[in-house]
Structure 1
């Protein structure tokens, strides 16, 4: 049975397209019977809460194994399975008085010593388990925090330099109440300086002091590989982890790096300089089994830029696992789901829509998502006096319903890799009007058949296409149906999974 590991730095609920791709791919491999694991590197206070919610929402298959670096070491260093909460809670004997405050989802207490000084804050979750504590000195400065897992068992303690408020030392605790690892930070730079491992069988201490975090990560991958027992496939979706990924043992892993974005610097066109982290990836090709592009167009561009790199392949993203849409179109509604930052270039959409309203004053634009430019965009809407017609709706996990009801959606990005929302709109029968940026639209949309590709940065052309579909809602619906048929035919899970399996056969042969 093939073993497939998928590497991610961090996993959370409210993340964008790359996370959806990652979860979908893990799920369709696992559901097809392959031993599939998610390997995550970042410490998470209560990661199981996140996984449970992902399972509940249907965004992750229960067949996928989840292995976090910190929890992996916590498990193997736990000596006694017969542990109790009382063994692992740290008592604060100096606290003689406590004030309880209760809320719907949690409760917390403020503790005071016999002299009346506020010394400790404790917070419990909705199930009554201790979640975290914070300790203060007499000047109300934080000195120590403690974090507890889902069963209320101590997981991590952090110690602070009082003057700066910076973390200077951390201890990590097993389920049976022992410290198995500690991290020591430089008192001036506050950068991680050393990692200590404490033996479970004797009193020996192991030091990691040369690039300690990287050493810890490599140790984790080495131990995972030994647990698997045979050379296995590992896929990295985060280009920021390239320097770590290429150092994994070639005897233990077939390493496949996937890219999720345009590799050019501004203005993000052919002929522009290559982004440094992409150049680093391509120049390390000999340490990788394959480098995967999401579109044929990008693959061709990279092969022209790097003609000596032999292992560049094309595998698209599969259709996201979103519920089917069974509702009806709202002919005056336009919905956009995106991240609100400079890359998405949403001011062009707002300007175009302001002109559309001169003819279709009853149309409404709903913008879903969060991001660094949210306030700037809201200010623009206010300046143009469009508050009645443009609404900012925040993050959503109901993309299929929102896009399904929309007459069409619009994409004005500066650049992309292959945006998931494009397929998510098309699969629920929603026409997409998109700027002709790199990459995605020209590979997925059949212009004037399944959507419209507009000259890049042409607000006027964008306005015309939006107005045309509002004038002709039945045409928008018809194009949306063709779009749905097109993406199902080309990007189904079965089809994309077979492309991945074909790639696996090539790299392992």
Structure 2
């Protein structure tokens, strides 16, 4: 049972300034639990960022966190970095004994000694502060050592590279007084695998077998007994399960554990050691049933989906669909946006006055734009970029389209239904089967069947679905009760 005077934690790999998906969900969950149950939380990150104060300040300014939610980073914890420095160390461009050749556009400067290129300095384009100081291999374009500086002008990390490659051999981490507190040795391979580490902590040198061992040691010293610790990143499952602190360990699954017919490598440890978890929380009943078939104790499992805020009301009369369909999401391989473009090229042949708007960005955005040109459908398929008017986009569309290979929940399905917009979705794991009912609020079609996707879009044009509503199960008033029941166990 969780009580108000205990500290609770959320451990995750990274918190970004701008975010979606998993980070959005864990931040909303943390704030909701803090507000509704008067609980204190600390969000613990494990990635390396010597300027994390920017993210923390941004979250407070935007209202993503309040005074009952704090932040900690494992590297900052051991370095004692608190971002309270009152003075900044300046690093002038001119260095005695070197000839400098500037590239003012990139704020980078090459340094020559005896006519040979031996050093490269890079300054932040906005602040003008030194970011990187690279010692180059003479006669080679490769750096052999990089010194990294934070916003306060302090060198916080040194990286040594395998000769004539970009692969790491060693990382050395410094505190704000310039003292070494941590080092990692690498094998110099492409994946930069950490195979040994040494940490100076409490005047002892701790030998670490790998990165997961470092995280485990960090949790042992950052977390406090009592309360609950939520784990939202599969890379941290092993470290938290091996942590010796007596905290309730809850593991929240944000994605499918089975993508191509076998258990994903990132989920394997948790599934194989599920008996050591206090709770495993999934977002859909379909995933719950699949995990139970793997032999996980049902007492360990519970379903608590994402939810919409009850306070955000939607007037059905404000929905005025144009002759358009929409996609909203990251334009990445998992989403298979090219399937939608191919399908809509077939739709445009029969209904040339209808069009598709694609909202979002990602590494496949250029490929999708090129496909639009190749199929000669630029009049019917438009790349819109990111949008801050999610409600307006949904309320003016006939339906939203989802062609994902897999998801953990399909957050966009819930959002679409909330704004009264029906959904046409592939039958992927997980989300569609929990959220959609054929003919009532959308259609679920065979995954990867582009012809059927086109046929269903045409069906929606000729026989549109109206008066769509999201089930009450997916509003905060419902999910917060489920969280309350879980925390009181």
Same fold (TM over 0.5): yes
For residue 503 of structure 1, the aligned residue among 475, 486, 489 is 486
- Distance in 1 (alpha carbons) for counterparts of 2:219 and 2:98: 47
Partner residue in 2 for 1:269: none
Q: CA deviation at 1:57?
A: 5.2
TM-score normalised to the size of structure 2?
Answer: 0.84
Number of equivalences: 480
Q: CA deviation at 1:265?
A: 4.6
1:23-75 deviation per Cα after TM superposition (whole angstroms, max 9, x unaligned): 22122223343211211111124333344445555555565312111111121
Contact 2:79-2:176 at 8 Å conserved across structures: yes
- Distance in 2 (alpha carbons) for counterparts of 1:43 and 1:366: 37
- Distance in 2 (alpha carbons) for counterparts of 1:320 and 1:89: 49
Q: CA deviation at 1:425?
A: 1.8
Contact 2:8-2:229 at 8 Å conserved across structures: yes
1:263 aligned onto 2:257: yes
Partner residue in 2 for 1:28: 32
Q: CA deviation at 1:234?
A: 1.0
1:127 aligned onto 2:127: yes
Unaligned runs of 5+ in 1: 267-271
Partner residue in 2 for 1:253: 247
Partner residue in 2 for 1:403: 394
Partner residue in 2 for 1:19: 23
Q: CA deviation at 1:259?
A: 1.6
- Distance in 1 (alpha carbons) for counterparts of 2:250 and 2:26: 14
Partner residue in 2 for 1:67: 72
In structure 2, do the counterparts of structure 1 residues 188 and 422 end up closer, same or farther at CA, with 3 Å as the change threshold? closer
Comparing 15-24 with 93-102, greater Cα deviation is found at 93-102
1:85 aligned onto 2:88: yes
TM-score normalised to the size of structure 1?
Answer: 0.81
Contact 1:124-1:132 at 8 Å conserved across structures: no
In structure 2, do the counterparts of structure 1 residues 224 and 404 end up closer, same or farther at CA, with 3 Å as the change threshold? farther
1:217 aligned onto 2:222: no
In structure 2, do the counterparts of structure 1 residues 42 and 322 end up closer, same or farther at CA, with 3 Å as the change threshold? farther
1:95-119 deviation per Cα after TM superposition (whole angstroms, max 9, x unaligned): 544455556xx84444444757452
In structure 2, do the counterparts of structure 1 residues 142 and 22 end up closer, same or farther at CA, with 3 Å as the change threshold? same
1:41 aligned onto 2:42: no
Q: Secondary structure at the match of 1:429?
A: coil
- Distance in 1 (alpha carbons) for counterparts of 2:20 and 2:353: 30
Q: CA deviation at 1:83?
A: 6.8
1:8 aligned onto 2:7: no
- Distance in 2 (alpha carbons) for counterparts of 1:62 and 1:468: 51
In structure 2, do the counterparts of structure 1 residues 132 and 497 end up closer, same or farther at CA, with 3 Å as the change threshold? farther
Q: What is the correspondence of 1:476-487 to structure 2 with a 5 Å cutoff?
A: 476=465, 478-479=466-467, 482-483=468-469, 486-487=470-471
Contact 2:119-2:133 at 8 Å conserved across structures: no
Q: CA deviation at 1:354?
A: 1.8
Partner residue in 2 for 1:183: 184
Partner residue in 1 for 2:355: 364
1:468-503 deviation per Cα after TM superposition (whole angstroms, max 9, x unaligned): 44346xx55x43xx32xx24x322234322212211
Contact 1:24-1:60 at 8 Å conserved across structures: no
1:120-148 deviation per Cα after TM superposition (whole angstroms, max 9, x unaligned): 31303523433333232432431222222
1:147-187 deviation per Cα after TM superposition (whole angstroms, max 9, x unaligned): 22233322222222333332222221222332222223346
Q: CA deviation at 1:434?
A: 1.8
Q: What is the correspondence of 1:316-395 to structure 2 with a 5 Å cutoff?
A: 316-319=305-308, 329=320, 331-371=322-362, 373-374=364-365, 377-394=368-385
Q: CA deviation at 1:321?
A: 11
Q: Secondary structure at the match of 2:350?
A: coil
In structure 2, do the counterparts of structure 1 residues 287 and 95 end up closer, same or farther at CA, with 3 Å as the change threshold? farther
Q: CA deviation at 1:287?
A: 0.7
Unaligned runs of 5+ in 2: none
Contact 1:7-1:39 at 8 Å conserved across structures: yes
Comparing 279-288 with 321-330, greater Cα deviation is found at 321-330
1:450 aligned onto 2:453: no
Q: CA deviation at 1:306?
A: 1.7
1:298-347 deviation per Cα after TM superposition (whole angstroms, max 9, x unaligned): 22333244264531111111227998889864502322123334443434
Q: What CA RMSD, in Å, does the superposition of the two structures yield over aligned residues?
A: 3.5
Partner residue in 2 for 1:283: 272
For residue 407 of structure 2, the aligned residue among 416, 419, 422 is 416
Partner residue in 2 for 1:208: 207
In structure 2, do the counterparts of structure 1 residues 151 and 328 end up closer, same or farther at CA, with 3 Å as the change threshold? farther
In structure 2, do the counterparts of structure 1 residues 446 and 73 end up closer, same or farther at CA, with 3 Å as the change threshold? same
